[in-house]
Copies of this chain bind each other. A is one copy, B any other.
């Protein structure tokens, strides 16, 4: 039994009252929009079989999986020879389970296991923590939440439009307006790759284009040419990339290939979005966007804050093979994921959390004696049954100590019960920030606090 001061594992966090209520606020808004849009909740266990998890995230991802030791005498299925062959070999003998790395693979597993019961199109959301044995650094944690929504088993551009409306509604509900939704389409990127003569090298081409923000135009051109691209065609591509007007941009691409699937979808997408102009949808086409190269096959999204320096706070796209890794082909869909931690950081920096949500209670009932304390018990229960977050200082301590406590927990109001108040039925309601106080009957107090 260790008596030394306990610590938290590196890269993990406690969320105390204030942070917890702010996180709940964000999660509640996301969740209520998910359900309003017809998504239903899925929850999967923290632990998955390693056979489910490994091989799905590349070698690097496999390294970051947390592995759980088999219970009991975990070495019983291993031999000294296994030990001698090292960590990588021994793992199969001593561990069968790991912590989930994301919500997509567990979702795919669920779909495969329940494929005959699921009604398609299936809209599921999932809000749960995931774990990665990453090197902890600012803004990167070993346990963090993902908030995912996916629509599977259907194609049609309305899905793409709907998710854009959903993103808009979520951030609108959070009162967060400093962001831009960037979209792109994999088919357009692939068309451009072919155009510069890099057919078959689409993925490395996209990876270079994606770096435009970071390494600049000259370096990108150099790298793409090194892949074997035609220099004149590449110049033309850079011209197209520099265009900011969407119609102009699209017509340039149409002039390369008027039948390109990506262009057709993007046009239809903007057409349908146009119907919701009252919503102030902040979306732009960014041909340099190229996320999730091995996974996404159609439109891709990324939401970036504009006034805060931060990576994307939401992202996603269309994929055409969710469950192929588990042997079930043909399940396509589209999904987005909100990054709770980053949204939290942005909202904190922009001071967007309503003051009320971090109030532990709205009113603390304080008193002067055993008798008034007992009287306060009915009062506090009256307040609570009217939906008011209320507390009674639990013992008949000195009034000074009670007010100290009121200050520490920053209650906006105290309700003071002395002998006189108890007799008259008019209690002193004190506004703790102005110091103002007024005798009021309990009904009036309830009205005042609810109003």
Contact = CB atoms under 8 A, between A and B. Distances in A.
A9 B40 contact: no
A426 to B, nearest CB: 20
A227 interface: no
A21 B41 contact: yes
B378 A121 contact: no
Interface stretch (A286-294, A381-389, A443-451): A381-389
Interface string A270-286: 00100110000000000
A326 interface: yes
Nearest to A386: B36
Contacts of A154: 394-395
Contacts of A1: 55-56, 325
Interface string A32-72: 00011110111111111101100110000001101111011
A400 interface: no
A109 B5 CA distance: 9
Nearest to A19: B43
Nearest to A276: B381
Contact of A119 (B5, B43, B275, B408): B408
A368 interface: no
- Interface size class on chain A is 35 or more
A317 to B, nearest CB: 17
Contacts of A395: 154-156, 158
A327 interface: yes
Nearest to A385: B169
Contacts of A73: 86-87
Contacts of A24: 41
A17 B36 contact: no
A390 interface: yes
Mostly helix, strand, loop or mixed at chain A's interface? mixed
A275 to B, nearest CB: 6
A119 B68 CA distance: 37
A14 B409 contact: no
Contact of A405 (B47, B119, B151, B272): B119
A176 interface: no
Interface string A1-35: 11111111100111111001101100000000001
Interface stretch (A110-118, A190-198, A232-240): A110-118
A307 interface: no
B75 A124 contact: no
B68 A69 contact: yes
B42 A17 contact: yes
A373 interface: yes
A158 B378 CA distance: 11
A208 interface: no
A143 interface: yes
Nearest to A69: B67
B143 A327 contact: no
A43 B66 contact: no
